[in-house]
Amino acid sequence: MVILVITVMTVLFAGKAGGQVQGLPFGSMEKVEGYAVSNVNRIIIFSWYYNNTSNNWQGFATSGWYAPSPLTNKSQMDTIIANKVASIFTNLLANTNQSIKKDKGIAIYIDCRMAANGELALASFNTPAYVFIPPTNISGVYSVPDLSWFSTKISDKIPIYVPGLRWARLEVGNKGDSKPFEVDDNRIKGSTNVIASDGFMYLPTWAITNSSKTNGDYWLKLSLLSKDFQNFDGDGRLIPETPLRTKIGVGNGSVIVTVSGGDSGRGYCLQNSPDQRSWSSYGSNNFVSPLTHLLPQGDTRSFVYETANNATMFFRTATTNAVPLY
């Protein structure tokens, strides 16, 4: 007679606090802009003038600015840009080149970011497209326009840095609907590095600025795997892991494990022990908790365990920090 004592345990091995990210800078436009501005240390302004001979826009000047000290707010950054653009205008209006059609003004494109690790950005602002700015025209006399209105925009995607990041999954859904309408899965695998660089992930601004619990239209869940597996909500706050639910049945020498719940992308393995003190893992039975909307009934896994007569065996699941393969 074979006695199998089926003890279902979900063991969450929490990493040390020093290896975990405690919070992320998103949830509102103010948080995202504050994070981005504080990291900007490079502003480059590209400008073009209209050539009335060739009837096209031609490059005029490129103006760079590198922060002598950290910026404190977006108004400060935009004031620096406005002053730089005003200087470009002054030079344009003083230029004696007859091919310059001065009443057209200038076209500008502005790029603000933190230059680091080969131009990877911790912050990213720019003009949404080329902006055409005419000069002030009073009785045929051209002068520098009022640029106090000018403001850069946060980029469509903003990079967030997490040391040692190996995998990230962003799930976004409408408030009140548990099914996500967008799932972005980023993974470093071999030579194909979709996170762009070690530790950087690029998150869509529209989602991370409109997903706070209090004011957002969406819910957001971000799962990260660096040293440890962690989850964050729409306010960038660390949230507990979702428990894995297991159901175990025995038949024909097989132990059938049905898995549901858990956090999508979280890795698990099956373990057994004769005494609940010494546990062994089944190396070929690692699995990953599925996306709920893809497998609403859970994911069924099975393994075969053979034991001597009258033996007692305990089973459990344990978490792993394996990078998902899908």
Distance CA 36, CA 205 (A): 12
Is residue 277 over pLDDT 50? yes
Note the pLDDT of residue 38.
85
State pTM to two decimals.
0.74
Residue-averaged pLDDT of the chain? 77
- Please, are residues 134 and 104 in contact by the beta-carbon 8 Å criterion? yes
Note the pLDDT of residue 123.
62
The backbone region for 233, taken as left when phi is positive above 0, alpha when psi lies in -120 to 50, beta otherwise, is beta
Mean pLDDT for 184-202 is 57
Q: Where in the chain is the domain with CATH 2.60.40?
A: 10-14+242-320
Residues paired with residue 221 on neighbouring β-strands, in sequence order = 171
Note the pLDDT of residue 307.
55
For CA atoms 247, 248, 251, 252, the dihedral sign is positive
User: 């394996």: which residue's tokens?
Assistant: 322
Note the pLDDT of residue 232.
93
Distance CA 241, CA 321 (A): 13
Contacts of residue 322, Cβ cutoff 8 Å, sequence gap at least 6: 267, 286, 288
Question: In what helix (H) or strand (E) does residue 89 lie, and over which residues does it extend?
Answer: helix 74-94
**Which of 25-34, 123-132, 135-144 has maximum average pLDDT?**
135-144
Question: In what helix (H) or strand (E) does residue 47 lie, and over which residues does it extend?
Answer: strand 42-51
Class of domain 10-14+242-320: mainly beta
Mean pLDDT for 192-209 is 69
Mean pLDDT for 11-19 is 34
> How far, CA to CA in Å, does 92 sit from each of 20, 28, 110, 134?
52, 39, 17, 11
Note the pLDDT of residue 39.
82
